[in-house]
Structure 1
Amino acid sequence: MSENQIRPDKKNQPIKILYIVTQSEWGGAQTYVFDLAYYFSKNNWQVNVAVGEDRNGELIKRLEKINAGIFFMNNLKRKINMWSDINAFFDIIKLCRKIKPDIVHLNSSKSGAMGAIAARIAGIKKILYTVHGFVLNEDLSFFKKMFYLAAERISAKFKNHFICVSEFDKKSLLKHKICRTDKITVIYNGIDLENIKFLAQDEARIKLNDLIPDRGLSMTDYYIGTIAHLYKNKGLIYLIEAARETIEVEPRAKFLIIGEGEEKKRLEKLIDDYKLNENVYLLGNVFNASQYLKAFDIYVLASIKEGLSYSLIEAQTAGIPSVATAVGGSPEIVENNKTGVLVAAKNFNKLGIEIINLIQNKGKREELTKNSVENAKKFALKRMIEETEKIYNLKA
């Protein structure tokens, strides 16, 4: 990239970029921010990352190991809170004026809305926003939808460009008249295909078993797994409903859910009510969870709203057949009955049926594995970075 195109008046100084993301708990947006921060810090950019809500998430731990500035914004929270949101707005203005970035790159709906306006007030000329699943595709009340729609349309006027992680999100922006099509670029999430490592199946299963020593799983059980925040959008109540139906047919089916979140108590109660404690396990956060993917016979993504799932791409790379809900960008990863199986969101009956079908049909699992490994190659980190760098290089 030519620095002259980004800031022709400061040719001999490193380019400054500020990423803003609401949470540091590891997930898709955090993976995305870290991968970009890591690459551009290695290429002599001055990289700064502002994180809201918590200071102990995996994103912080990883950023501390690279040459990146870290700023904590305690008022920037995931949930709407008028007082905190007002303070967060002014915090972003102050931070932008302090570090004077050439580019502000926003991630998540809340930081995308307030961050764009705040950054422009602070005098930032280039403001980009990555849509990791469009907020209006969530289950929202009418009034919340109208509020978010107004916020998206108003803040769009302060954004130079939108990056969508799926064609689905691009269509959603256009459908809701958020911005013009020439302000949107679709760039699929990417993973480091050359360096990603997975534990062998037996080793991965032994290590996951160590997390549940009082119960333990047999190496001959069917392992059905997912990696997800325990949030409503991830549809985990429907996965547990599907597990209930699956276990009635295949008692050796064991469901392993990796992740933490606000829905944990609700999920635990559902597991207890259905007496599924010997078949469904909430494992909590697991460091570098993707390395355990080969432990699973089947990977399930039960989301009711999704951007472009890193875990689904990683599961394909690991050669694990998947069943996913046809939401967000998932149909752009999974071609039904070729590289995986798609079902309608919230349809736990169909989800359970498809899991049972794959358990009982080893040939189908092997076919999906072969096709999905090849399909995953188009989601390369190198391509994602190159295409994002082109957006950074656009004129403000």
Structure 2
Amino acid sequence: MAVLKIVQLITRMDKVGGAQKHVEALSIQLQQDGHEVTVVTGSYQPSLWSLQELQIPVINIPSLQRAIHLAKDFRSFWQLRAVFKRIQPDVVATHSSKAGIIGRIVGSLLGIPTIFTAHSWSFTEGVPQKKKLLYHRMEKSVQLFTTKIITVSEYDRELALMKEVAPAHKLLTIHNGIDLIEKRTTTERTFLEQPIIVMVARFEVPKRQDILLKALAELTHIPWHLQLIGDGSLRSDLEKLVEQSGLTARITFLGNQLDVHSYLEKSHIFVLLSDWEGLPISIIEAMRVGLPIIATNVGGVKELVEDHGNGFLVERDNFELLKQRLHQLIIDADLRQQMGNVSECRYLQYFTFTPMYQKTIMVYQQAVSELAKKGD
């Protein structure tokens, strides 16, 4: 297999999210396999990632940001062009909408094969209508600059085909996958009187910690404790909500945690409520440690969670069912164990890192050889 020079481009690495974790894991493995990797991003928070200590170069382009801003976007275009010309990568792998749009245009104009990984389309169900229309138009207009599009769920591939974003030959699904972790010899998950519920998510749109808090506020007659891992602009509002509900003693805000795994190992139920999703890595992390899942049935979530199998799916607006499912898992330790076992089996069968990585590197190689054929 040829050694490649690869740029991984993502709008921001100053927050912990699925797309960011994906970029870090891919970059580390690519480097270990002898490829030359550079991560390019808008805002970067080194303390959240292990790229620097592994000597993976990170280039900052501060004008690259999520919001549309013509002057900054224009500046990003020229700065990215200079970076790509200097590095001369064999392939540019882009992640997240803004980096995906500018990066593909720049790469294509320089004759570099461009890959876009759609971690969730910005025109997916649940996104506000105005934003949906704008990003749909933008995605359609940049498909000409795109060699291949990887969707992290079959749901997203089908959505792209239905919305005619790109032809079928450019689209393929590669489910997210994460590394196996050695099991601790003694599991610390005890069947306490008080089951621990955990949600790992940024305190930002589209995550819905607020709905979980409201549901649990109506279940105070049974024992539970909630741990919220993550940070973001909506956190202080939620802390106020907890205080007003008189639930301070039962809910812990843990902020960003680098070792999420150790918290999951000691939990009993994993919940992820969102208005939209791609294929959430946080759910895969919970499956890896054998947790039952309660999640909103959006995006590719149903490709991870089999309703009544390894957890429960709830529709976005079905508050009563959410309460019922929480109640069911909180009071039934046997059901938690049973569903948790199915979670772990599903993870081992479908969502480990190596198959995902091998398929991804194959897409990079194909993109490079397609370009070489065109040049012949």
Scaled by the length of structure 1, the TM-score of the pair is 0.87
Q: State whether structure 2 residue 376 is matched by structure 1 residue 386.
A: no
Q: For residue 234 of structure 1, give the secondary structure of its aligned residue in structure 2.
A: coil
Matches within 5 A, 1:1-396: 1=1, 3=2, 14-24=3-13, 25-59=15-49, 62-121=50-109, 123-137=110-124, 139-193=126-180, 195-196=181-182, 202=188, 220-247=193-220, 249-250=221-222, 252-377=223-348, 378-394=350-366, 395-396=370-371
In 1: Cα distance, 2:198 partner to 2:130 partner = 36
In structure 2, relative to structure 1, the CA distance for the partners of 1:152 and 1:57 (3 Å cut) is farther
1:26 CA drift (Å): 2.2
1:201 CA drift (Å): 5.5
8 A Cα contact 2:127 2:275, kept in partner: no
In 2: Cα distance, 1:229 partner to 1:317 partner = 20
In 1: Cα distance, 2:98 partner to 2:281 partner = 21
In structure 2, relative to structure 1, the CA distance for the partners of 1:336 and 1:139 (3 Å cut) is closer
CA displacement, residues 308-352 of structure 1 (integer Å, 9 cap, x when unaligned) = 111211211211111111111110011110111111124333212
Structure 1: runs of 5+ lacking an equivalent:
4-13, 206-217
CA displacement, residues 29-55 of structure 1 (integer Å, 9 cap, x when unaligned) = 111111211111112211100021233
8 A Cα contact 1:169 1:329, kept in partner: yes
1:171 CA drift (Å): 1.1
Partner amino acid for 1:21? I
Scaled by the length of structure 2, the TM-score of the pair is 0.92
Worse-superposed segment, 235-244 or 381-390: 235-244
Q: Give the aligned CA root-mean-square deviation in angstroms.
A: 2.0
In 2: Cα distance, 1:291 partner to 1:311 partner = 13
Partner amino acid for 1:58? L
CA displacement, residues 171-207 of structure 1 (integer Å, 9 cap, x when unaligned) = 11112110011111111111112x35569664x89xx
Aligned length: 366
In structure 2, relative to structure 1, the CA distance for the partners of 1:198 and 1:333 (3 Å cut) is farther
Q: For residue 218 of structure 2, give the secondary structure of its aligned residue in structure 1.
A: helix
8 A Cα contact 1:22 1:110, kept in partner: yes
1:136 CA drift (Å): 0.8
Q: For residue 123 of structure 2, give the secondary structure of its aligned residue in structure 1.
A: helix
In 2: Cα distance, 1:15 partner to 1:178 partner = 28
Identity of aligned residues (%): 29
Q: For residue 238 of structure 1, give the secondary structure of its aligned residue in structure 2.
A: helix
In 2: Cα distance, 1:99 partner to 1:389 partner = 19
1:236 CA drift (Å): 1.4
CA displacement, residues 67-99 of structure 1 (integer Å, 9 cap, x when unaligned) = 422101111122333332222222211111111
CA displacement, residues 232-254 of structure 1 (integer Å, 9 cap, x when unaligned) = 2111111111121222x31x211
8 A Cα contact 1:19 1:104, kept in partner: yes
8 A Cα contact 2:217 2:247, kept in partner: yes
8 A Cα contact 2:291 2:341, kept in partner: no
8 A Cα contact 1:246 1:353, kept in partner: no
In 1: Cα distance, 2:279 partner to 2:106 partner = 27
In 1: Cα distance, 2:127 partner to 2:343 partner = 33
8 A Cα contact 2:152 2:174, kept in partner: yes
8 A Cα contact 2:196 2:227, kept in partner: yes
Q: For residue 136 of structure 1, give the secondary structure of its aligned residue in structure 2.
A: coil
In 1: Cα distance, 2:192 partner to 2:329 partner = 18
In 2: Cα distance, 1:63 partner to 1:360 partner = 42
Structure 2: runs of 5+ lacking an equivalent:
372-376
In structure 2, relative to structure 1, the CA distance for the partners of 1:224 and 1:148 (3 Å cut) is same
In 2: Cα distance, 1:200 partner to 1:138 partner = 42
Residue aligning to 2:374 = none
8 A Cα contact 1:304 1:327, kept in partner: yes
